[in-house]
């Protein structure tokens, strides 16, 4: 597949184009809702390709034994910037990898923006195993009160723009 | 669209079939990694349909002003049980809703299994706004050391089963 939608500067584009085969350590703060730092990887981790789809272009890479990355072969910082045909290809491939891994409980997570825990500025989905309560992804979702009027407002705002 | 892949007992199936139009309060513990309870909704929240695709069957519902649910019209507890054509339809619709909402930073999250924070046993993707550090999704991802041999083992195990 041609790489016309990839850049020369992005780490994930380089990995997809196979001009770089390692992910360097990325340690990030989890924000105020997450009291601990969380770790994507430490040191240099080889970015071996697990699977790919040629037609629309999606790659899967291992990052940790507990998780994989599904990366579209299209350079975009945010999910909403990825064309629909690339998006349609992502989840069926993620399913294959989840099945091959034999995960029983797990999370799919895709982050947009530094506040929302995105580190590498190229859209990617994490497939994260949850083998027990202590490993894998923990989430913190502060409580929020909401009125029916607020909900109606949100709904009509979205419908207007759809 | 016919509802041959929906059940009579699942809350989300009922909402899709429009025989039930409210989501009752669901408060769940976030597990040991998440020190606070997190809240999907409190009280009864109307499950208004925002958008749907008929062909393969995906619905989007609002749950909170900060987030929406994208729900396949196919009853499956786990992501890896959903047929590929339903999966392919999910993200393009999620993109439309994220764009209509005007979210700048946000997360997509899909949970599989009670330890992995799944509450309703019908596959669903959360689209969660992250307007500031305190609201929206916080994540906790404990550090894990990994050797290159472990990574190679994971890789060959997956490739064997793909």
pLDDT, tens digit (0-9, with 9 covering 90-100), for A126-161: 999 899 988 888 887 766 666 777 777 777 888 888
pLDDT at B157: 81
Evaluated on CA atoms B153, B155, B160, B162, the torsion sign reads positive
pLDDT at B125: 92
Q: Which of A36, A118, A125 sits opposite B140 (nearest CB)?
A: A36
Instruction: Note the pTM of the prediction, 2 decimals.
Output: 0.83
Taking each helix axis from N to C end, the angle separating B84-101 and A148-161, rounded to the nearest 10 degrees, works out to 100
Spell out which residues of chain B touch residue A156, defining contact as CB-CB under 8 Å.
none
Per-residue pLDDT of B64-98, as tens digits, reads: 555 788 888 889 999 999 999 889 889 998 998 88
How many structural domains are present in chain B? 1
ipTM greater than cut 0.85: no
Which of the following is catalytic: B75, B117, B124, B126?
Answer: B124
A55 contact B CB<8A: no
**Any residues with CB less than 8 A from the CB of A56 and at least 6 apart, and which?**
A85, A86, A88, A89
Which residue did the predictor score with more confidence, A136 or B58?
A136
Q: Which of B46, B87, B150 sits opposite A151 (nearest CB)?
A: B46
Q: What's the average model confidence in pLDDT over A71-86?
A: 92
**Cα separation of the two ends of chain B:** 33
B contact residues 78-117, partner A, Cβ 8 Å cutoff = 79-80, 82, 84, 87-92, 94-117
Spell out which residues of chain A touch residue B87, defining contact as CB-CB under 8 Å.
91-92, 95
Residue A36 covered by a domain: no
Residue B90 covered by a domain: yes
Compute the residue count for chain B: 162
pLDDT at B62: 62
Residue A131 covered by a domain: yes
Q: CB distance B151–A45 less than 8 Å?
A: yes
Confidence band, pLDDT 50/70/90 cuts, at residue B52: confident
A:B CB pairs within 8 Å? 292
Report in angstroms the alpha-carbon separations of A44 from A18, A23, A33, A38, A124: 16, 6, 28, 16, 19
B120 contact A CB<8A: no
**CATH code of the domain in which B65 resides:** 3.30.428.10
Residue B86 covered by a domain: yes
Q: Which of B82, B139, B124 is nearest to A67 (CA)?
A: B139
* Residue A136 backbone class (left: φ over 0; alpha: ψ -120 to 50; beta: rest): left
pLDDT at B35: 35
Per-residue pLDDT of B100-152, as tens digits, reads: 888 999 999 999 999 998 888 999 999 998 999 888 888 877 666 667 777 77
Q: What are phi and psi of A47, to 5 degrees?
A: -105, 65
Residue B26 covered by a domain: no
In angstroms, what separates the C-alpha of B75 from chain A's closest C-alpha? Answer: 16
- Rounded Cα gap, residues B14 and B10, in angstroms: 6
What is the domain range of residue B108? 52-161
For the question of residue B122 being annotated catalytic, the response is: no
Tokens of A56: 């629309």
Tokens of A117: 């825990």
Q: Which of B61, B51, B83 is nearest to B12 (CA)?
A: B61
Residue B108 covered by a domain: yes
Tokens of B119: 């509450």
Residue A11 covered by a domain: no
Residue A37 covered by a domain: no
Q: Which of B106, B107, B123, B24 is nearest to B70 (CA)?
A: B123
B41 contact A CB<8A: yes
């Amino acid at each position: 597949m041609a790489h016309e939608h990839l850049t020369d500067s992005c780490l994930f584009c380089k990995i997809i184009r196979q001009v770089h085969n390692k992910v360097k350590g990325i340690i990030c703060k989890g924000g105020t809702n997450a009291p601990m730092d969380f770790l994507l990887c430490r040191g240099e981790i080889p970015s071996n390709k697990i699977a790919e789809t040629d037609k629309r272009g999606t790659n899967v890479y291992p990052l940790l034994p507990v998780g994989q990355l599904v990366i579209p072969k299209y350079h975009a910082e945010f999910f909403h910037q990825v064309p629909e045909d690339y998006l349609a290809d992502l989840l069926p491939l993620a399913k294959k990898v989840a099945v091959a891994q034999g995960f029983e409980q797990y999370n799919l997570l895709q982050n947009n923006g530094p506040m929302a825990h995105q580190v590498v500025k190229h859209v990617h989905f994490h497939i994260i195993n949850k083998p027990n309560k202590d490993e894998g992804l923990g989430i913190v979702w502060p409580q929020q009160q909401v009125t029916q009027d607020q909900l109606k407002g949100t709904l009509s705002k979205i419908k207007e723009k759809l």
